[in-house]
Structure 1
Amino acid sequence: MCGIAGLFDLEGRRDFSRDLVTRMSDVQYHRGPDEGGYHFEPGVALAHRRLSIIDLATGQQPLFNEDHSVAVVFNGEIYNYQSLVPELEALGHVFRTHSDTEVIVHAWEAWGEACVERFRGMFAFALWDRNRQTLFLARDRLGVKPLFYGVMKDGSFAFGSELKVLMAHPGLDRRIDPLAVEEYFALGYAAEPRTIFKGAAKLDPGHTLTLRRGQPIPASRPYWDVRFTLDNPISLDDAVAELNERLHESIRLRMISEVPLGAFLSGGVDSSAVVATMADLSSGPVNTCSIGFDDPAFNESEFAKMVADRYHTNHHTETVMSDDFDLIDKLSALYDEPYADSSAIPTYRVCELARKHVTVALSGDGGDESFGGYRRYRLHMMEQRMRDAMPLGLRRPLFGALGYAYPKADWAPRMFRAKTTFQAIARDSVEAYFHSVSILRNDLRSQVFSDSFKRELGGYNALEVFRRHAGNAQTEDPLAQIQYLDLKTYLVGDINTKVDRASMAHSLEVREPLMDHPLVEWLAGLPNDLKIRGQEGKFLFKKSLEPVLPNDVLYRPKMGFAVPLARWFRGPLKDRVRERLTGAVMADSGVFDMAALTRMVDDHQSGRRDYSAPLWTLMMFESFLRGGGSGAGGQ
């Protein structure tokens, strides 16, 4: 796992400043503390920070082909590289190392832009081909590894593994993008390809970008997408057997390492499945790491210990205090742009713990999206049955009026919050799902945004992110559609972003067996009743795990990796919340109606409403602004 950076002259062959490129690379030193490498030639500069995992002796980057006409800087792992080497050798390519990185340069020579279609892994890389005067950028299918880019004010093209790489360049346009602010307050992140800054973008997952000197920058090109066909007629027994085979293969590939390796173990189904499979594939004990909480309402450590004891792992646990909120400002600096998932705190802590014992950790991320594990999926399907019973033209005015008139009951379980249900039934499926996952819903965003900021938005609504992806989903099935939306938005913008930054902050590589793209494709072909059956999510996955995991792990209510925000904001963080959200930084941004922010704080702290998630989202935005984000709307 590494960090990449670089500059490309789109028109000429200027010599780039070594000091500038070094600064751009060094701001992500944490991603690769083992070694640093550079390549300079007229019009091109490549930089690399290395965290040594495979081929410790000869895997340095930038890495070149035989005649040094092709160079690559690469972040990630190509898990199937060993099977590609003999194929490329048969085509005449000569390998000088045993690293997966060298496969990329030879695959480019053999297959050109289509090389990425042969790679199985998590990756973001930039490849320079001198003979073709071409810079080629690529990102893995599910966006596990990040890649930022932008055109600087001097006309040069810059790229890097983190946004801070571009921020180190004095030519970055750091005006805040109002549309990114709208997306952030709806979703908790600026959705791909947008970033918080007008001058920077993220390369979409499953896309490549090919730049040729002297030619305009083209649109990025998709090379992969997942199709939810739901047409596999497989029986339950056969599906269980095939899933076990696929899971074992995915995890076996991700256990290749020349450094200490282990796994996160939360006590949930996904991480427990990964650990049980690793134990089956390992000759010795698996290293496992868990975070416990001193608040029983958030603590899953007893279930993690149950799995650790069953498989006799080398288990490491640390307890996080329920008032572990000192990371707020550190997280803002870590993510470079506003990011609102409060589980970033325990994720940071479990990565910190894991790095004391291993350099590579396997995670269970991605399981909920593909197996159908989120509780919100079952609720969405229940609501969809009601939507299907009445045309939208009747539902929208009738249930819209009921949703407006009915009192809000934050204290009640969602199934009894009639206001939320009425609002969902009044919408179409995509809009209803967007409404259900929004942190600040449309009405609340309208209240907290200032009139001047709403004019800057020009009517833009973050719902358009979901509409755009739904238009590419090629399915009208309501469950498949929202699984597709999550794979394109929440998994990438929230989960993968959280894990990448938290792990890389500690120079820890995290691998993702449940996001193996052949596994994701296979699961997308299965019928829905193998994912959700009755009120049981992850039906197939749990059935396949019954022989290897306790029922108490498989069939208990999902807890999640949460922190007690509501209590923090009425207790130990009470004064900080009020001071920051009603202070000068927020007022000077021009984004907010300050009276509305004051009302939100008052209502939450009095106990009249639970605004914990919106308040956290606002806190992280304030922390971003205070840490150096310029004002919105071109200030």
Structure 2
Amino acid sequence: MCGLTGLFHPLDPAIPDRGTLTRMTDLLRHRGPDGEGFHTEPHLGLGHRRLAIVDLAGGAQPMATPDGKVVISFNGEIYNHAALRTALEALGHVFRTRSDTESILLGWRAWGLGVLDRLDGMFAFALWDRDRGELLLARDRLGEKPLHYARTPGGGFAFASELAPLLALPGVARGMNHAALEDFLALGYVPDPHSMHIGIQRLPPAHALVLRRGAAEPAALYRYWQPPTRAAAAPADAAGEMTRRLDAAVRARLMADVPLGSFLSGGLDSGAVTALAAQAHKGIASFTIGFEGAEDESAIAAMVAERYGTEHRTQSATADYLAAARGQAAIFGEPFGDHSAVPTLAVCTLARKHVTVALSGDGGDEVFAGYRRYRFHKLSEGVRRMLPAGVRRQVIGRLAAAYPAMARAPRWLRARNTLTELSLDSALGYYRTVCKLHHERRRGLYAAGVRTTLDGYDPSDRFIGLMAECDPEDSLLQAQYADLHTYLPGDILTKLDRTSMAVSLEVRPPLLAHPMVEWGMALPAHLKLQGGVGKQILRQAMAPMLPDEVLSGPKRGFAQGIAGQFRERAEVVRARLGGEAMLDSGLFDAVALHRLVDEHESGRADHAQPIWQLLVLEGFLRGESAPAEAEMAQA
């Protein structure tokens, strides 16, 4: 795993300043502590930080063809690079290294943009073809690896794996993107293609951007892959096929010349990945972070580790979320609202002490319908189809408005939420289940000027558009499809990349192998969700391999001590949200923020999630996300 940076000016043939490029690349040292490399020529500069995983001696970057006319700076892993090598050698291409990077370089020579369709892996890269005068920026299908870009003064472009190198460039617009702020408070993350910074965008997953010498604007932005929008027929032996596909994906992700391990939470997804990895790679390490209370899964994880003889390591942890909130901006470069990033960083830190690469179970919930919200959405959709829209909006909507909120009750008792969701159309109902802070409360927190700016903008529009792309008769697939384009890349994979790269650890999720995603998403609904229980096909496949405690245990996730911490330390919360950074920003109504904390402290409501997001935002506004612009200018 690595970090890349670059400067490209399509109209100016000057060679980019090497000092600026070096300083940008230095800000990604944590992504690649094993070496650095640079390439400069007229119009273009590329930088690279390397975390050596494959071909430790020969895989240095940026890498060029022997004639120097095609150059690449690459972040990721290409798991089928051996097969690509065979195909390319048959076409007469000669390899000089064992590196997977070279398979992209020569693949471009052989197939042009068609190389993207042939890559099986996680990747983000910048590839320059001097003869064509084209710079290709590309990102993997699911968004496992990030790539950001910005316009620079005079018509140039800058790009980087993370936000910090771009934020440190003089001239890149750093103002607050109010639409991104609205998305963040609604969803807990900033979805692609935006960032919180008005001048910086993210390349969306499964997209490629072509910049051309002599053209002031990008030549093309196109999508090269899309997940299924309609279910296929059920496979004859679905459980057996599930096992075969996952085993192949796990084995492919064991490709490395460095020590390997696996995250092992005690849940089904990580248990399945670890079990298959341990059978394919003897002596693999496994890592668990344990917590106090009912959500601690370390004992169950230990059962799986003992069964498969992994070199298991467990670490007990407690999390100070108030302290952690201000550190999020330094890791993510912008506010990030998923507080499970804190324990994820802890398990990454533990793993990095022993290995360089770790496998994870991420993606199983999205691909095989593991989230509880899918069950609620499917049930709600069944009710919607029995009731005319007018009845739902008028009768059920009025009942919802009259019902007490009961915000701290279990979800099945929160009839107001359920009734409200039922009164809405399908996409809006699903959006409401994933929304962290609903429209009225969210807009009530803003200062009047921000509310005016946001008139006409609604984060729900993204979900309405995505769900409309799917089979209207398959409500489960619609919800999964929306998550695959929003929550998975914006939250789950962003969290995984930044927390692992913060400690120079590469993490590989086999359940997100794109053939697995294509197959799993297209399964009939009953093979994913049945009887209110998700991931049916994965449970059937793993039944011979995992203990009942893993197969039938409830979904726990990381410990949730966050609400109690914010009540016990309400004065600190109040001081931060009413402090200089928040008030001077001009974004919020101080009285509304104060009221939010009061309601949480008193127990009248559970506002732990929005308070966490606001605390993270406060850390961001304090300027703890990137070096000052002046630091770069004076260096």
Preserved CA contact (<8 Å) 1:191 1:465: no
Matches within 5 A, 1:44-63: 44-63=44-63
Please give the secondary structure, in 2, of the residue aligned with 1:298: coil
The 5-angstrom pairing of residues 298-377 of structure 1 reads 298-323=295-320, 325-377=322-374
1:381-401 deviation per Cα after TM superposition (whole angstroms, max 9, x unaligned): 111111111122221122222
> Following TM superposition, by how much is the alpha carbon of 1:629 offset from its aligned partner in structure 2, in angstroms?
7.2
Provide the C-alpha distance between the structure 1 equivalents of 2:615 and 2:304, rounded to a whole number of angstroms: 37
Unaligned residue ranges in structure 1 (runs of 5+): 631-635
Q: Is 1:466 matched with 2:463?
A: yes
Aligned equivalent of 1:633 = none
Matches within 5 A, 1:553-568: 553-568=550-565
Indicate the larger mover: 202-211 or 407-416: 407-416
Contact 1:27-1:168 within 8 A present in 2 as well: no
Which residue is 1:10 aligned to?
10
Distance 2:560 2:351 in 1: 20
Which deviates more from structure 2 when the two are superposed, residues 81-90 or residues 390-399? 390-399
Q: Using the TM superposition, name which of 471-480 and 598-607 deviates more.
A: 471-480
The Cα shift of 1:324 comes to 5.9
Shift of 1:474: 5.0
CA distance in 2, matches of 1:542, 1:474: 26
CA distance 1:191–1:219, shift in 2 (3 Å)? farther
TM norm structure 2: 0.97
Q: Which amino acid aligns with 1:183?
A: D
The answer to whether the aligner puts 1:297 opposite 2:294 as a matched pair is yes
Any conservation in 1 of the 2:231–2:523 contact (CA below 8 Å)?
yes
Q: Is the 8 A contact 2:275 2:308 kept in 1?
A: yes
Within the alignment, does 1:288 sit opposite 2:286 as a pair? yes
**Contact conserved, 1:149 with 1:158, CA < 8 A, in 2?**
yes
Is the 8 Å Cα contact of residues 325 and 612 (structure 2) preserved in structure 1? Answer: no
Q: CA deviation at 1:219?
A: 4.7
Matched position secondary structure for 1:68: coil
Distance in 2 of aligned mates of 1:321 and 1:36: 36
Structure 1 partner of 2:246: 247
Does residue 188 (structure 1) correspond to residue 173 (structure 2)? The answer is no
State the partner residue of 1:202: 202
CA distance in 2, matches of 1:323, 1:330: 11
Of 598, 602, 623, which residue of structure 1 is paired with 2:619? Answer: 623
| Number of residue pairs matched by the alignment | 625
Give 2:607's aligned amino acid.
Y
Q: Does the 8 Å contact 2:330/2:624 carry over to 1?
A: no
Cα displacement string for residues 170-191 of structure 1 (whole angstroms, at most 9, x for unaligned residues): 1210011110001000011111
SS of alignment partner, residue 290 of structure 1: strand
Letter in 1 for 2:499: A
2: distance between equivalents of 1:255 and 1:562? Answer: 30
Aligned CA distance change for structure 1 residues 361 and 522 (closer, same or farther; 3 Å) = same
1:212 aligns with 2:208: no
Deviations 1:323-367 (A, max 9, x none): 465322222211001110000000000000000010000000000
Q: Which runs of 5+ in 2 are unaligned?
A: 627-635
Q: What CA distance in whole angstroms lies between the structure 1 residues aligned with 2:323 and 2:455? A: 37
Are 2:113 and 1:113 equivalent residues in the alignment?
yes
1:493 alignment partner, one of 490, 495, 501: 490
Q: How has the CA–CA distance of structure 1 residues 299 and 322 changed in structure 2, closer, same or farther, with 3 Å as cutoff?
A: farther
2:257 alignment counterpart: 258
AA aligned opposite 2:263: F
Contact 1:153 1:173 in 2 (8 A): no
Q: How far apart are the structure 2 equivalents of 1:233 and 1:305?
A: 35
- Residue 524 (str. 1) matches residue 521 (str. 2): yes
Q: Distance between the aligned counterparts of 2:618 and 2:121, measured in 1?
A: 36
CA RMSD of aligned residues (A): 1.3
Indicate the residue corresponding to 1:223 in structure 2.
224
Write the mapping of 1:571-590 to structure 2, written as runs, cut at 5 A: 571=568, 573-590=569-586
Contact kept in structure 2, 1:333 and 1:627, CA below 8 Å: no
- Which residue number corresponds to residue 601 of structure 1? 597
Letter of the 1:433 counterpart: Y
Output the CA distance in 2 between the equivalents of 1:564 and 1:26: 36
Amino acid in the other structure paired with 2:380:
E
Give the residue type in structure 1 aligned to 2:475. P
Deviation at 1:476, TM superposition (A): 4.2
Contact 1:10/1:214, CA 8 A, preserved across alignment:
yes
Amino acid at match of 1:144: E
Identity %: 48
Contact 1:33 1:50 in 2 (8 A): yes
Further displaced range: 560-569 or 264-273: 560-569
Give structure 1 regions of 4+ aligned residues with deviation exceeding 4 angstroms: none
Displacement of 1:229 in angstroms is 2.4
Matched position secondary structure for 1:327: helix
Partner of 2:5, secondary structure, is strand
Deviations 1:526-585 (A, max 9, x none): 1100001112111111011110000111111100124311101011x3222110112222
Report the TM-score when normalising by structure 1. 0.97
Q: Distance in 1 between matches of 2:252 and 2:474?
A: 33
Aligned to 2:631: none
Local SS of the residue matching 1:423 = helix
Deviations 1:179-224 (A, max 9, x none): 0001000011111001111111000100001111122214520000
1:614 equivalent in alignment to 2:597: no
Please tell me whether the aligned partners of residues 322 and 563 of structure 1 are also in contact (alpha carbons under 8 angstroms): no
Per-residue CA deviations over 1:421-465 (Å, capped at 9, x if unaligned) read 111001111111111111111121121122210111122011122
Q: Which amino acid aligns with 1:513?
A: P
**Conserved 8 A contact 1:469-1:485:** yes
Aligned residue for 1:242, secondary structure, equals: helix
